[in-house]
Amino acid sequence: MEITFKKNVVVLLSGLTVFCVILLMPLPEGMNESARRMFAIVLLMAIWWVGEGTSIAVTALLPLILFPLLGIMPSKQVASNYANHLIFLFLGGFMIALAIEKWSFHKRLALWIINLIGTDPKRIVLGFMIATAFLSMWISNTASTMMMFPVAMAVVRQIALDASLNGERNTSSQEKITSGLGLVLMLALAYSASIGGVSTPIGTPPNIVFAGLYKKLFPNNHDISFFKWMTLALPVVLVFIPLTWFYLCRVVSPFPLSQLEGGESEIIRKELNELGVMSRAEKIVAFVFCLTAFLWIFRRPIIVGDFVLPGWSGFFEHSEFLHDSTVAMAMGILLLLFPVNGAKGLDLNGKTEWFVLDWRTVQAKTPWGILILFGGGFALAAGFGASGLDQWMSKKLTGVFDWPLWLTVLVICLVVTFLTELTSNTATATMILPILGMAAISANIHPLFYMVPATLAASFAFMLPVATPPNAIVFGSGWISIPKMSQAGLVLNLIGACIVTTATLLLIKVLLIKSL
């Protein structure tokens, strides 16, 4: 505890020192005083975020104080960034996720998927990966990993008890299974949770950060809809999940998983039986979940060649007033108002629940700090434009990325990936996306070519337990050592960077730029 306190003090003082030095140093050529002050704030926040000198939410609140004090923006303009509509997209999506978790619909859905894929060892690894990735599209990767974690551990332990290697049941064979299948399945959970989260705008916080910063930095560009993001990100997931599964089962596993036989199918059936029939609340949650996905995907027209499928927002007089956040909040509020079983209510863990979702649950479990972090990131983006720092950086970055586009994108992916191994992916995205946006403009390249791969790469850090919450959760199983995770994760970091680079070059121009 004392070491942590000293480290925090060092980080805080380092940030303040750099802040003061930038304010006192001679004005760089071509930079105005407002841009210099903004640059000092950016470095202060970057150091505090990367070094984790204090909570990332506390650092995100600094613009509310420093922007007005240093004459960059008035308080009321700064504060409006903390109520950006994309913050409510995340809040509404999280409310839906809380309702799904509250009534265990996510667990039933995951077990259905696993049972459908099959229950021999290799297939069960794939089933867990598909289920976890799908859940992470709609709920946090932390929640999806936590939900699947005990089921996965039970499967491994049951196989260890039932297995007979070389015709002999013994302790060493059980240890071999936990260190083999246990290692593979734990890594599969963590990695698929991170990979699946990039599929949708609400799947992981960096996606929300990107959407907000892109619109703030380039207000004349059209925003990217829920459907358009999925057309780019979902193919990445559909390629990456099978590659990860093949790599884990064939390369990382210390022995062929086909050697194993056990009672994993009985465990899955037992888990499903314990859930019983779907309750009324689960059915309501399932309906709202499907309706929300439908409304998000089909809000704006979908154009495929000469065929145009009209979006439902076009039926309203002011369709431009409707956003994905409108849908998210409408569905979230609907869950708070929808009776779960009329005047009778439903029993949940010995307590009668009257509504599908209650505000007490929302208040207790919503990651308010992340919402504040979003606001801080959007405030930074606004400060870049208001101070003129964006124009100065664009001029100074001219020529920095004179490499071929494919090499530039690959380097961006690698830098962001390995930086995220040591820092919060949300903080990393918040810091680096405005810089990449300005660099793209200075290189006469559409900013999506730099910002989108950085956003995706921020979720693809697989080497260290501290890199992502899913990594930390599965590391707690005791079946994974840091060297094993690092060795497996290093290869996937590189594969992920290559997949994202390829997707960027092949899909962005076709799927996003031409249709925006």
Place of tokens 């810089």: 435
Please write the tens of the pLDDT for every residue from 260-308. Answer: 555 456 667 777 787 788 888 888 888 998 888 888 878 877 766 566 7
Nearest-CA neighbor of 93 among 357, 427, 318? 357
In the block, residue with structure tokens 């005047």: 343
Calpha distance 141→96 (Å, rounded): 15
Between 38 and 342, residue with greater pLDDT: 38
What is the rounded CA–CA span in Å between residue 261 and residue 393?
60
pLDDT of residue 7: 81
In the chain, the percentage of residues whose pLDDT exceeds 70 is 87
Residue whose tokens read 């979902």: 234
Where residue 55 falls among pLDDT bands split at 50, 70, 90? confident
For the chain, give the mean pLDDT. Answer: 81
d(CA 285, CA 112): 16
Among residues of the chain, what percentage have pLDDT more than 90? 17
pLDDT (0 to 100) of residue 164 = 47
Output the pTM of the full model.
0.74
Q: Residue 160: which H helix or E strand, with range?
A: helix 141-162
Q: Where are the beta strands (DSSP E) in 293-429?
A: 302-304, 307-309, 346-348, 351-353
Q: Per residue in 10-35, pLDDT tens?
A: 989 999 999 999 999 888 888 899 98
